[in-house]
Amino acid sequence: MIAVLKKEINSFFASPIGYLVIGLFLVVNGLFLWVFKGEYNILDSGFASLEPFFTLAPWIFLFLIPAITMKSFSEEIKQGTLELLLTKPLSTAQLVLGKYFGALTLILLALLPTLLYVVAISSLEQTGADLDSGVLLGSYFGLLFLGACYAAIGIFASILSPNQIVSFILAIFLCFIAYFAFEALANLNLFSSGAFGIEDLGLNAHYESISRGIIDTRDIIYFLSFIFLFLALTRFSLESKRTGKR
């Protein structure tokens, strides 16, 4: 599994695409948070808070993470190297986890530079503003879990097609559905208030919950279950391909 993980990271940074994807994430966030006028601009808000970042980041992740994961299995299928991987002494679980943790590592690398925003906010705090460290920590945990869920979806989408663009679009669609659709459906008033807790099926409700700074075990269990589901689906698809080659 470690070998697969290293291969994923090396292949990502072997071309300019890796640096471009992470660079775009940081540039887009930076422009909206510090340059462009609007609701996301921290300097215009008058509060020492990174709430605009944690509101904006899930939507940028919606495109960033599928771009990271789209080649995970799609490229292997297209080049015919997946068959070679399946002949190696690796279980399908190890192969899936290697690909997954490779993508997760890249997401962490994209998030690390955003800690500079915390430093900037801390400097604003010295002028009399208030920084809620509990909410800040909870929001970062929530964003990490959300990124991990998106990555699981992206890995699953990448094994469904040998075409990276198809995998990219499919991953964006599935991530959007998982993040926004359940809350939107609940707001349609087709159900009575809180009926079936339909909004709780979506990622957004649990992301917002943990971002309040309270680590609820229900949210943790939800995120872990969500990740396990899509990784299990990926493993099942991979097992089907292995069986089909025999």
Give the amino acid at 230: F
The confidence score (pLDDT) of residue 225 equals: 95
147 neighbors 66 (Cβ within 8 angstroms): no
The confidence score (pLDDT) of residue 230 equals: 96
The confidence score (pLDDT) of residue 155 equals: 95
The confidence score (pLDDT) of residue 220 equals: 93
Residue showing tokens 């899936």 = 96
The confidence score (pLDDT) of residue 192 equals: 53
The confidence score (pLDDT) of residue 124 equals: 63
The confidence score (pLDDT) of residue 196 equals: 56
**What pLDDT digit, counting tens, does each position of 120-129 carry?**
777 765 554 5
The confidence score (pLDDT) of residue 46 equals: 62
Question: What's this model's pTM, rounded to 2 decimal places?
Answer: 0.89
Which portions of the chain are predicted below pLDDT 50? 128
The confidence score (pLDDT) of residue 66 equals: 93
CA 57, CA 160: separation in Å to the nearest integer? Answer: 26
CA 8, CA 103: separation in Å to the nearest integer? Answer: 8
199 neighbors 192 (Cβ within 8 angstroms): no
